Amino acid sequence: MSKLTHLDDQGNANMVDVSEKAVTTREATAYSEVRMSAETMSLITSGGHKKGDVLAVARIAGIQAAKRTSDLIPLCHPLMLSKVKVDLVPDPEHNVVRITAFCKLAGQTGVEMEALTAASVAALTIYDMCKAVDKGMVIAEVKLLEKLGGKSGHWVAGDDNA
């Protein structure tokens, strides 16, 4: 098993020094979903929610969250993201909104945490906007789908060769 990089030799938390790492293109894609009642899904897809366009607000929240990840996760480096894309796809047949967040940059450290934060905060925003009508919503499946770049190269969830 690999050594945890955010711990020094004494076990103290520290920010990893990336100054000697090569600048490469780095990308990450994360996923989350929000499961809800049929009534809540109908409000979202019909545009009938009194708070406005739930998916548009969640998309903006996810993008903003990716940009602020280092303020939220203590040992993350502040990054100059070159692209953040948050897609929200309602699936009325299963009463779920599927969220995919993509982050990209040219830098010395990966963007996995930014993608995961974007997907998570987009899901939390849906919950916040809809909790008055559906407190039983479930945020689930927050996970990294893929990462590209850096020393560890290309990794895909579920790919045994990654």
Catalytic residue positions, numbered: 128
The token pair that represents 120 in the structure block: 């998570």
**φ and ψ at 135, to 5 degrees?**
-75, -10
- Distance CA(86)–CA(55), nearest Å, equals 10
Q: Is the dihedral of CA 12, 114, 25, 156 positive or negative?
A: positive
- Report CA 133 to chain centroid distance, whole Å: 25
Q: Tokens in use for 148? A: 């590209």
Looking at residue 86, the DSSP 8-state letter turns out to be E
* DSSP β-bridge partners for residue 100: 31, 87
Burial of 93 (0-12, 13-18, 19+ CB in 10 A): exposed
